[in-house]
């Protein structure tokens, strides 16, 4: 085996430019595949982290009639908070939200919104709810940057808000924007208006009620509660998993094209090498090499392209991938337009498993492609091969 490796290495180096062209192309495939996969892993991690920090915490309880995709369910999706959650809420480990449908009238225009009542003292979510604890002549409210841009609002602006209370009666009042926040989770910002929880309860005559309850500890055992649906973190982040899976499948086409180009070059190199080195093959067989050993020699020679490619790719790939992990990849358009949890700058994450699996897959494919044309050696006649002719 050691002799085969030495001969394969000598032959590759002796091939000169042809070998290094194949190695460079294959190393490019290594680096690009690892980079793109790292982007996907980083996006998945960032999206779930942002959703955890801004919206879902460690999980939630939803009122049984609440449907986030149907705003008309908000009229009925509220109920008194179960008594067993009182201690957790008092400790700040659970945050109740009351949600009602409303309408804003900024500068003579009309905008449907979801009015969310939240405790100004909560620290479970990154929402700047402490800015709701402000003494004003109107109801204090905070909104997201996307909504502020859409409605052309700024801090300190006043606008009229209308809602319907528990009895179905419409009412209206003025609100003042006390803070504008920016997040990477569009569902937290899009048409969402946050006001103090107790104020919203008083305005809607829903004392002690909530629409959903967000808790901190994702690992704690959660009992089923009548009238409420437990939504663990894995369920709430499932849409992100489905998006990443879809994007990864689409990228697989790109990976395949890269590998096909690299493998085609190696296949052609092996075919040409066998054609040009017939006398050498005949000499090996005449010296006592079995046909299987000669096939193995050419297979190792072809597979060694991937080993050299991994080494060459590491020379420029490690600095490039490290730089990308530090500065990230900035999307050349507003990530909020995608309507999903996605940061404007994605930071790739490269795990050891990702790098090792990519290298092993490419090496395996290269070995198979190298073996395929090498099979012809087993059918060669040594005498004819020494004459430079294929039988």
Query: Which tens digits make up the pLDDT trace of 333-386?
Result: 665 555 566 677 889 999 888 888 888 888 888 888 877 776 666 555 555 555
Q: What is the mean pLDDT of the chain?
A: 84
Which of 171, 201, 216 marks a domain boundary? 216
In a domain, 229, yes or no: no
Is residue 166 located within the same domain as residue 301? no
- The dihedral sign for the CA sequence 163, 165, 169, 173: negative
In a domain, 225, yes or no: no
Domain range for 205 is 59-216
Is residue 356 located within the same domain as residue 245? yes
Is residue 121 located within the same domain as residue 211? yes
Is residue 97 located within the same domain as residue 154? yes
Is residue 174 located within the same domain as residue 211? yes
Is residue 40 located within the same domain as residue 90? no
Instruction: Say yes or no to pLDDT of 1 above 60.
Output: no
According to the model, what pLDDT value does residue 142 have?
A: 97
Q: pLDDT tier at 281 (50, 70, 90 boundaries)?
A: low
Is residue 198 located within the same domain as residue 254? no
3-state class of 96 per DSSP? Answer: strand
Is residue 209 located within the same domain as residue 283? no
Which of 158, 185, 216 marks a domain boundary? 216
In a domain, 233, yes or no: no
- Please answer whether residues 143 and 176 qualify as being in contact, where contact means their C-beta atoms are separated by less than 8 angstroms: no
Work out how many domains the chain is built from and give that number: 2
Q: Which helix (H) or strand (E) holds 275?
A: helix 238-276
Of 61-65, 206-210, 242-246, 280-284, minimum mean pLDDT range: 280-284
Is residue 170 located within the same domain as residue 307? no
Listed in sequence order, the residues at least 6 apart from 89 whose beta carbon sits closer than 8 Å to its beta carbon are 81, 95, 96, 213
Which of 160, 184, 216 marks a domain boundary? 216
Per-residue model confidence as pLDDT tens digits over 77-86: 999 999 999 9
Is residue 63 located within the same domain as residue 48? no
According to the model, what pLDDT value does residue 372 have?
A: 74
In a domain, 223, yes or no: no
Average pLDDT rounded to a whole number, residues 1-13: 62
In a domain, 143, yes or no: yes
Q: pLDDT tier at 177 (50, 70, 90 boundaries)?
A: very high
3-state class of 188 per DSSP? Answer: helix
In a domain, 228, yes or no: no
In a domain, 224, yes or no: no
Is residue 255 located within the same domain as residue 300? yes
Per-residue model confidence as pLDDT tens digits over 123-157: 999 999 999 998 888 999 999 998 999 899 999 99
In a domain, 255, yes or no: yes
What pTM does this model have?
A: 0.79
Is residue 46 located within the same domain as residue 65? no
């Amino acid at each position: 085996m050691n002799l085969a490796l030495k001969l394969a290495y000598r032959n590759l180096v002796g091939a000169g430019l042809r070998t290094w062209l194949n190695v460079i192309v294959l190393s490019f495939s290594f680096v690009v595949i690892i980079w793109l996969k790292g982007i996907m892993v980083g996006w998945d991690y960032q999206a779930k982290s942002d959703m955890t920090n801004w919206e879902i915490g460690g999980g939630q309880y939803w009122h049984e009639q609440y449907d986030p995709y149907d705003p008309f369910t908000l009229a009925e999706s509220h109920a008194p908070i179960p008594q067993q959650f009182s201690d957790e809420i008092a400790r700040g480990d659970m945050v109740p939200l009351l949600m009602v449908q409303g309408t804003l009238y900024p500068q003579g225009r009309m905008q449907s919104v979801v009015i969310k009542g939240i405790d100004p003292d909560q620290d479970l979510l990154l929402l700047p709810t402490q800015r709701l604890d402000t003494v004003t002549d109107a109801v204090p409210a905070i909104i997201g940057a996307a909504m502020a841009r859409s409605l052309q609002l700024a801090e300190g602006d006043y606008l009229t808000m209308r809602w319907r209370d528990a009895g179905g009666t419409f009412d209206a009042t003025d609100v003042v924007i006390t803070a504008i926040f920016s997040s990477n989770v569009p569902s937290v910002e899009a048409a969402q208006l946050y006001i103090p929880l107790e104020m919203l309860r008083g305005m809607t005559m829903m004392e002690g009620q909530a629409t959903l309850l967000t808790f901190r500890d994702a690992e704690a055992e959660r009992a089923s509660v009548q009238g409420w649906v437990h939504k663990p973190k894995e369920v709430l982040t499932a849409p992100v998993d489905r998006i990443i899976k879809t994007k990864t499948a689409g990228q697989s086409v790109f990976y395949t094209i890269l590998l096909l180009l690299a493998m085609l070059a190696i296949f052609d190199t092996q075919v040409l090498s066998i054609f040009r080195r017939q006398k050498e093959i005949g000499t090996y067989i005449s010296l006592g090499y079995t046909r299987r050993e000669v096939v193995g020699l050419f297979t190792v020679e072809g597979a060694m392209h991937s080993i050299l490619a991994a080494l060459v790719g590491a020379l420029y790939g490690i600095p490039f991938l490290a730089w990308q992990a530090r500065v990230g990849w900035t999307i050349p358009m507003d990530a909020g337009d995608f309507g999903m949890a996605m940061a404007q700058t994605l930071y790739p994450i490269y795990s050891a498993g990702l790098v090792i699996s990519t290298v092993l897959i490419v090496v395996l494919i290269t070995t198979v492609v190298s073996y395929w044309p090498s099979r012809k050696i087993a059918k060669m006649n040594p005498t004819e091969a020494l004459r430079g002719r294929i039988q």
